[in-house]
Structures are given as structure tokens and as C-alpha cells.
């Protein structure tokens, strides 16, 4: 195949409003930043607690690089597992209330590693239809029989589990494109009844919900026995990079032996682990960050209600404004960008056809005036084509 044969599909994506382009960030990750050389007010970062540019986290990274160098030089199982990695794993285990935690390079690699290590050919894996791509791809990579149930439909999951008892049930804790919470208590009951593992990816709940930011499980009152496998990312509320899996001693040892995305990749920089140790400590002790987030979410939702804007039902910093068509979502995003406000349009295949939206995300680093400016801009959006 020649490069010219790829052009028609790229043109089709452009015509359908589905073409994606990268922007160049010319400043640190923060609400007021430079994008493609222009100052913008950003509402599309996952830096929920405002820690990505925190001076203490930056200082910890600098000290870590001076002490440990930059690269780890090898995989964790060769000689790339440094003392800061070990310390961070212990602190993450304490944070999540589990015996062990295991660092992965990304959340995608964590979910691929866990599912492919625990399920295989002949097994059934049940997943929410709106799960993150990494959970779905993990099941496909494992060669298990992936069975998807309608979003949040616990009765449909129970029926699937009766038809074909699953080896593993997997769900987001907070759904990344909708901001709603999974019915985890019901999922735990189905898992217990069928003897399945329950895996919850709480990438968008950790740091934001629960006591000290312990996440969706703490928020809903679920313990490690009910949800034995927890995955989380460090590049969202904690402001750094990487991911982890937390669970029992036996689970973590099994992953060390069998998770290919852990075994066959270079360990993340030890300086980064030092930075994350600092951001984790800040996230746990500074409750005002979660309080500000809740206040900003309430302010945005109240303003949107007054304006008659179709926000999805979400109590988290993820506040989707439903557009319907990809063309409408793209046009809204472009209108906001012309006004100096950056909000990413989310279009198929990331979300189902007909549910394109602006994915508005809030940070503790935002001010009330920032939210008011966003509302003023949203009030000008044409809505006659929305579905």
C-alpha cells in the first residue's frame, strides 16, 4: 500500500467532522496557558487538583533527578526498580488500603497487563459498553470472550453472568467521557455470586472522590474484598505520570510474573516517582482542593441550568455538554476557541454515534471568574442543530 492510498480515508474523516489534530502547549499545564502561541483558558485537562505545575512537585522532581538521574535504564525485573519506585508503591498501597501496589508506565499498560494475566482463551470477561478503551483492549488481547453489557445496566450484567459465568468483570469507576459513576455495589454482588474477579479502573475518581481522595470505592463504601483489583493513573488528579495496580500480595506477585506490559518495558524515571510521592501527599492532606472542585462543579451546573444547556448528569469534574452530532461538537469547540476558551470536542468512535459532546473538565486551579467566563461563552453557542 502506498501513502496515497491513505488519503481518501483522511479526507473522509475531515468531511465528517471526525479529524483530530494536535495542539502545541507552550506553557505548563494550568488553566491559563499558551496553545499554538495563543493565550487560552483551558477546560479540557485532567489535572483535577491543580498539581501538574505545583512548585513542591517540581522541586521533588528536580531533587529526584539530582539524586537518581533521569532514566531508570532497565525494566523493573532487570535492575530498573529503584528505591523511589519501591517507596511509592508502599505509599500507594497505604493510600488505597491494600497490601501491595505495582507501578506501570501508563494506565493503558496497567489494564492490558492485568486482564491478560488473569484471563485467557476460553474465559469470559464482562465489561460495561462505555468502558475505557484500555479495558476493552485488555480483554481482546487476552483472547478471552469479551461480553459487553449496556452502560450501567446491572440487570443485563447479571443475565450475562448466568449465561456464561465470567472469569473477570471490569468497569470504570468514573466514566471518562460521561463523568457518571458505575453501579459498583451491584457489580460486586454479581462478581461474588459468580466467583469472578472484579476490576475497577478508578483513573478519574482517585484524588477527587472519597476521604483523602481515596476514590470511587471509598466514596461508595466498598472495601478491597468486594473490589479485589484496583487500577489508577498518576497523570490525572496527581499531576505526574504513570499508573498502578493495587490488590493482594498474591495478585501483585502474579502480575510481576505474568503481566507482559510490566515485564517487557523500561521502568519509569525514579525522579518521577519522587515527584509523585510529593503530589500524593499533597492530594491526601489538602482537602480544600476537593472542596473547591465541588464548589466549581456546582457553580457550572447551576449556571448551565439557568442557560438551558444540556449538561450530562455528573457529580464529578467531568461535565459533558451534549451536542449530538460530531459536526456540531466541532463547531462549538471552534467557537469557544475563537473566544480564547479551549474545550475539546469528543466525537465517535470515542463516544457512540449521536452522542458527540464538549467534554468540560474543571480543576481546583480554576477560579470562579473562569467558570463565569466559560458560562458567558457557552451562552452564545448556537443550539438549533443539537440533538
Which residues are known catalytic residues?
A: 176, 204, 236
On the question of a cis peptide bond just before residue 349, with omega within 30 degrees of 0, the verdict is yes
Distances (CA, A) of 257 to 104, 200, 242, 276: 14, 21, 20, 25
d(CA 301, CA 314): 9
Cβ atoms of 269 and 70 within 8 Å: the answer is: yes
**Burial of 76 from C-beta contacts in 10 A (0-12 / 13-18 / 19+):** buried
DSSP type of residue 177:
T
The dihedrals phi and psi of 241, each to the nearest 5 degrees, come to -165, 150
DSSP notation for 196-247 = -EEEEE-TTTTTTSSGGG--HHHHHT--TTTS-EEEEESSSTT-S--EEEEE
Length of the chain: 387
Selection from 117, 118, 136 nearest residue 176 by Cα: 136
User: Sheet of 356-361: strands edge to edge?
Assistant: 318-324, 356-361, 345-346
Give the cell for residue 18.
471526525
Cβ atoms of 171 and 200 within 8 Å: the answer is: yes
Which pairing describes strands 243-247 and 100-104: parallel, antiparallel, or unpaired? Answer: antiparallel
Helix pair angle (107-118, 249-258), 10° resolution: 100
Selection from 375, 377, 296 nearest residue 49 by Cα: 296
Amino acid at each position: 500500500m502506498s501513502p496515497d492510498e491513505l488519503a481518501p480515508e483522511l479526507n473522509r474523516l475531515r468531511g465528517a467532522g471526525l479529524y483530530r489534530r494536535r495542539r502545541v502547549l507552550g506553557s505548563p499545564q494550568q488553566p491559563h496557558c499558551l496553545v499554538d502561541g495563543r493565550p487560552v483558558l483551558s477546560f479540557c485537562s485532567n489535572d483535577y487538583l491543580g498539581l501538574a505545575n505545583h512548585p513542591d512537585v517540581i522541586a521533588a522532581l528536580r531533587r529526584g533527578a539530582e539524586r537518581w538521574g533521569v532514566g531508570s535504564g532497565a525494566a523493573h525485573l532487570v535492575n530498573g526498580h529503584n528505591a523511589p519506585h519501591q517507596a511509592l508503591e508502599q505509599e500507594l498501597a497505604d493510600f488505597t488500603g491494600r497490601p501491595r501496589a505495582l507501578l506501570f508506565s501508563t494506565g493503558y499498560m496497567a489494564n492490558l497487563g492485568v486482564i491478560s494475566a488473569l484471563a485467557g482463551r476460553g474465559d469470559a470477561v464482562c465489561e460495561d459498553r462505555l468502558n475505557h478503551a484500555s479495558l476493552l483492549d485488555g480483554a481482546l488481547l487476552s483472547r478471552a470472550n469479551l461480553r459487553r453489557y449496556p452502560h450501567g445496566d446491572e440487570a443485563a450484567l447479571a443475565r450475562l453472568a448466568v449465561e456464561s459465568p465470567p472469569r473477570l468483570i471490569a468497569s470504570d469507576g468514573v466514566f471518562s467521557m460521561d463523568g457518571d459513576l458505575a453501579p459498583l455495589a451491584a457489580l460486586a454482588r454479581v462478581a461474588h455470586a459468580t466467583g469472578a474477579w472484579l476490576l475497577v479502573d478508578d483513573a478519574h475518581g482517585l484524588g477527587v472522590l472519597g476521604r483523602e481522595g481515596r476514590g470511587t470505592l471509598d466514596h461508595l463504601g466498598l472495601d478491597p474484598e468486594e473490589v479485589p483489583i484496583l487500577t489508577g493513573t498518576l497523570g490525572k488528579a496527581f499531576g505526574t505520570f504513570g499508573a498502578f495496580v493495587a490488590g493482594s500480595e498474591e495478585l501483585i506477585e502474579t502480575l510481576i510474573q505474568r503481566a507482559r506490559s510490566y515485564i517487557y518495558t523500561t521502568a519509569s524515571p525514579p525522579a518521577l516517582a519522587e515527584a509523585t510521592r510529593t503530589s500524593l501527599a499533597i492530594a491526601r492532606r489538602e482537602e480544600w482542593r476537593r472542596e473547591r472542585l465541588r464548589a466549581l462543579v456546582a457553580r457550572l451546573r447551576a449556571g448551565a441550568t439557568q442557560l438551558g444547556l444540556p449538561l450530562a448528569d455528573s457529580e464529578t469534574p467531568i461535565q459533558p455538554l451534549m451536542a449530538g452530532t460530531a459536526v456540531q461538537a466541532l463547531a462549538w469547540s471552534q467557537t469557544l476557541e475563537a473566544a480564547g476558551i479551549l474545550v475539546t470536542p469528543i466525537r465517535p468512535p470515542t463516544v457512540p454515534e449521536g452522542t458527540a459532546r464538549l467534554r468540560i473538565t474543571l480543576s481546583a486551579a480554576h477560579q470562579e471568574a473562569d467558570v463565569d467566563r466559560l458560562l458567558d461563552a457557552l451562552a452564545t453557542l448556537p443550539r438549533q442543530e443539537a440533538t
